[in-house]
Each structure stands twice: as C-alpha cells, then as structure tokens.
Amino acid sequence: MVGLVPVQSAGQRLPFRVVSPSLYQGIGSVSIRRSVSGLTMDRRINSRALSLFSIRAQQSDLKESLGVVASSTSSSVENDVRIKEWEVDIADSPSNILEEITWFKYQEVSRMKELNPLEAIKKPVENAPPTRGFVSALRMAHQRTGFPAFIAEVKKASASRGILKENFDPVFEIDQAYERGGAACLSALTDQKYFKVGFENLEAIRGAGGKFVVDEWQIYYARTKGTDAVLLIAAILTDLEITYLLRVRKMLGLAALVEVQDEREMGRVLGTEGIELVGINSRSLGNEEAFHGRQIREKDMIVVGESGLFTPDDIAYVQAAGVKAVLVGESIVKQSDPEKGIAGLFGRKISQT
Ligand SMILES: O=C(O)c1ccccc1NCC(=O)[C@H](O)[C@H](O)COP(=O)(O)O
C-alpha cells in the first residue's frame, strides 16, 4: 500500500499515496504454470494463485480449464496431481520481486479483511475528514518552482535493496525535513515486510495509503488512515480492476496515481477514463521518453517520473521528456539531512522559505 498526501501549508500535510507489482498466467494443457513476458497478469488465475484456500475452492473451475473429464478416474487423478503441482509451484516460486510482493499482499489483505471486514470500516470512512487536493498540490508546486513537483517517498527499506537507512524515523523525516525541503506531496509505502513502514507511522503524521493495491478494501482502509491518494500499478491489475478501483477511490474523494512500466501498459491506461496522474516507473521501463505526449496533453494528465532519480541531471532528463512531477525515495531517504538532499537533487532549493 502507498499512502499519498499533499504538503500544502504549514498546518496541512502533504498528500500521501499508497503504492505497489505482477504476474501469472495461463494454465495450458501441457504446462501448468508459465511466466509471461513483461508485466502482464491474468487476474482470473492470479487471484486464485494467491491463496491456497481460494485455489482449493476453485479447483472445479480449474479442472474445467484443464479439460478434466470427471468420469475418467485415471485422468482425474492425474489432473489432481497436476493441480497440486501447480499449487506448489505458484506458492513457492514468484518469478520477480513485484510478483512476490503482490502474492504476499493478497495474503495480507485477506487476513486483514477477516480482522476488519469492509462493512466495519465503511462507518469510519463516512466520518473521515475531507481529503486534501493531491493533484492540485502537484500542479501548484510545478508552477511555483518550474521543476517537476516533488513527491517524497517515505520508506525505510526497499524491496530490492534492503534497509536504506538504519535509524530512519518516518515522522521526523516528514515533519522536520521533507516538508521543509519543498516536497509537494508525500508517498508512504505502508508495507512492513518489504519497506518497513507501518500504518501507525502514517497515522502519526496524518496520512497513509497503499502502493500494492489489489483490493478495494485497501482503499477504504487507507482512507480511514488519512490518505489523500492511492497508487495503482497497471502491471498487477486488469483494465476492469483499474476502472473499478478508480471508481472506488473517486467515491471516497481520493486522487489516484496509476503507474505503468512499459508502452503497452501506457496504452492500456490511456484508454481508461478518469486518470489524472500517470506514473512512469523507470525501475523496469528505462525509457521515460516513450510515452504518448499528445493523448497526455489532451487529457491534461500529470506524468510522474518514478524511481532511480539521484541528480539534477536525472531531474532535467525526465523534465525534458514532459514529466511534471517526480516520485523519489532512495536518494533522499539515504541523506542525513533530507532538506539539503532535496536541494541537491534539484540543483537548488525548491522550498518556499
Ligand atoms: O523499491 C523496490 O525495490 C521495489 C521493488 C518492486 C516494486 C516496487 C518497488 N519500489 C516502489 C517504487 O516503485 C519506488 O520505491 C519508487 O518509485 C521510488 O523509487 P526510488 O527513488 O528509486 O527509491
């Protein structure tokens, strides 16, 4: 999950986003599991893959997909064995870190939903204070500084790089440094296992959310914790899921940053109604220029450059490609003085003071 909040004025905090990754696939008649290239996922299979309980519950469907003939005892046994192999295979071998995080997230959300069912969190959502404008905070910061608006990502660790800063204190970083340093919004990677940021930190700093959103429950939950925006990752969601989750977040008054990692995902997202913020994550994309400028302009979207930004040259590069906001984690998290680090990243101070 990623909690997003805007940092607008001294009294008000930055919008937070809750962030997240992908992919499984097809059950063919020969191979039980196969990876697909890129970050595509067949959610019908994937959602089953993420909990053995649900896999078991769905075995009759799977048998249908596998062409199992119920009356044939030997082939039925054979296919049961293949289904078991598939369970073991998918349960034990995520093929990349995004996939691993996503699997874990399904399990975690399913546990959290048992403890705190959706119906029970709807009441606190109704009573939650209004959200702060995440998108408008980005637009204003971009206009004010002439630089891409800065979204500071709060995380103690990175899933791929481990602990980034041993004595990381999210409340201090945000209260004392990021806002003073000129962050327009905050993005809190509220994931304890991989990013070492818990919801309790976010409640303390007013704002929370999720990056690895796989279920509407996470959006409701993040809203009860003070988030202003959520982050949806196209690689782990189907088009229908994106459309649905966008409706849920709109109903709850939240902004949404939809993250893509390649051209194909950008095409999918551009075909979806109601997207104001599209993030290009260069962690696997490597080509920030390759997006559809005309459609983005016509839809008045803000393109957010994400991941691996460390120097003023990096910022200038993505800015030249049309990026109007950047989401930065590691390069600031690792600084002993984040305020100075932010000025160093942009090549000059971007704070108002
Ligand atoms: O941080 C990771 O290792 C990671 C792995 C898999 C999926 C997402 C991951 N991180 C979330 C992000 O996308 C980045 O934290 C975010 O874009 C900021 O990147 P950076 O400035 O490079 O920390």
pLDDT at 287: 45
Q: Among residues 197, 187, 173, 259, which one has the least CA distance to residue 3?
A: 187
- Closest ligand 1 atom to residue 279 Cα is 17
pLDDT at 347: 96
Residue 19 beta carbon below 6 angstroms from any ligand 1 atom? yes
Q: How many CB atoms lie within 10 A of CB 38?
A: 15
pLDDT at 196: 87
SS (H, E, C) 15-50: CEEECCCCCCCCCCCCCCCCCCCCCCCCHHHHHHHC
pLDDT at 76: 55
User: Which run of H or E residues covers position 120?
Assistant: helix 118-126
Mutation test residue for ligand 1: of 151, 158, 189, 261, the one with most atoms within 8 Å of CB: 158
pLDDT at 209: 54
Q: Among residues 319, 19, 46, 336, which one has the least CA distance to residue 187?
A: 19
pLDDT at 255: 93
**Residue whose CA lies nearest to ligand 1 atom number 14:** 307
The rounded average pLDDT for each run of 10 residues, N- to C-terminus, in the chain (353 residues) is 52 41 21 26 36 27 31 50 50 78 92 94 90 92 95 89 88 75 87 83 56 91 89 93 96 94 89 91 56 75 92 93 92 91 95 79
Is the complex ipTM more than 0.95?
yes
pLDDT at 91: 53
pLDDT at 343: 95
Residue 160 beta carbon below 6 angstroms from any ligand 1 atom? yes
Which pair of structure tokens corresponds to residue 115?
Answer: 């403890």
Residue 322 beta carbon below 6 angstroms from any ligand 1 atom? no
